[in-house]
Amino acid sequence: MSWIFKISHLSAVEKEGLYRILIPPSIFHRFHIHPILFLNDKRERLVRFYCPPKDNATLIEVKQDLSDQDSIFFVQVSDTNDRTQIRLDFIIINDPHSERFNTDVDPLGKDTLFGRANRNIPEEIRAMQAGLSPGQVKRGLRLTGEFLQCLEHFCRILGIKSILLDGLFYHNSIIYEKYGFSYFEGFKMMRRINELFQPGSILCEKLDGSTPFRQIGFHKTIRGRSWAIHDGILRDVDDELIEGRWSSPKMYKMVDKTRQICSFADASY
């Protein structure tokens, strides 16, 4: 029996006692949330655990205020077919005090599905100019490393040996490389993208200012490349390793073992 499915059969107190391990401790301290009771100073419960019986996934959400549109922390983990593995489905960490950019909905208010179903170009331009990356609606809190430490601690307790995830955007994949993740699929594509962004190569040449997301010099940074890829620049390249589109790499990390994988050397964000 896989671990998330097994935990889902426990009592609410037992489940929450285990899953609270996944919440970075600095969130409790920074936003004055009691780490056991999950209450703020007004006695409001700001942490939500969605882990119904017989489910093989769990979702955890933390808000600064119950009325907030966006969470501070939002994570989902799930089982795989191998009980020694766990999947990180998604992780979102927002700075609640930062400006919001409506990149998650189109001008008609429909979900953009991270820009894959549709896009809100004016909001994406504003977000990019404010220093955000594709898929972000607010600035982050720079807690990815702390969260991954929490996730590995959770895995150690249960005897889980590896963490799986998909690199949704280009910048996500590069960031996970820096935290010791390697690739099941997609490393050849990532290396090829890096080659084609080198000065004089085709992707670099296509950073010609033809759209706001394809500015000259974007090849130098992780965020610049990610916006260009999100804008569909790979469709303009006939290359068998890229196949004209971004395909989210499948990545993994062995618990307590760090791989030194790098597809974009000396990159700045």
Residues 80-93: pLDDT tens digits? Answer: 999 999 999 999 99
Q: Give the pLDDT of residue 115.
A: 78
pLDDT of 114 > 90? The answer is no
The three-class DSSP label of residue 50 is strand
Contacts of 88 (CB under 8 A, 6+ apart): 75, 76, 77, 151, 163, 164, 165
The CATH number corresponding to 3-186+247-254 among 3.20.20.70, 2.30.110.10, 3.50.50.60, 3.40.630.30 equals 3.40.630.30
Q: What percent of the chain has pLDDT over 70?
A: 100
**Mean pLDDT computed over 185-193:** 97
Per-residue pLDDT band at 116 (split at 50, 70, 90) = confident
pLDDT, tens digit, 9 for 90 and up, residues 28-55? 999 999 999 999 999 999 999 999 988 9
Task: Please state which of the ranges 76-90, 107-121, 181-195, 213-227 shows the lowest mean pLDDT.
Answer: 107-121
**Domain boundary assignment for the chain:** 3-186+247-254
Q: CA-CA-CA-CA torsion for 254, 256, 258, 259, nearest 10 degrees?
A: -30
Whole-angstrom distance, CA of residue 214 vs CA of residue 40? 44
Look at residue 121 in the predicted model and tell me its pLDDT. Answer: 96
The 3-class SS string of 122-145 reads HHHHHHHHCCCCCCCCCCCCCCHH
| Burial label, 158 (beta-carbon count in 10 A; 0-12, 13-18, 19+) | middle
pLDDT at position 45 is 97
pLDDT at 178 over 80: yes
pLDDT classification of 2: cutoffs 50, 70, 90:
confident
The per-residue pLDDT for 117 is: 82
Instruction: Answer whether residue 1 shows pLDDT above 80.
Output: no
Q: For the segment 213-222, what is each residue's pLDDT rounded down to a tens digit?
A: 999 999 999 9
What is the helix (H) or strand (E) element at residue 49, kind and residue range? strand 47-50
pLDDT at 108: 85
What pTM was estimated for this model as a whole? Answer: 0.94
Compute the distance between CA of residue 148 and CA of residue 126 in angstroms, rounded to an integer: 29
Per-residue model confidence as pLDDT tens digits over 3-33: 999 999 999 999 999 999 999 999 999 999 9
Taking a C-beta distance cutoff of 8 angstroms, is the pair 223, 134 a contact?
Answer: no
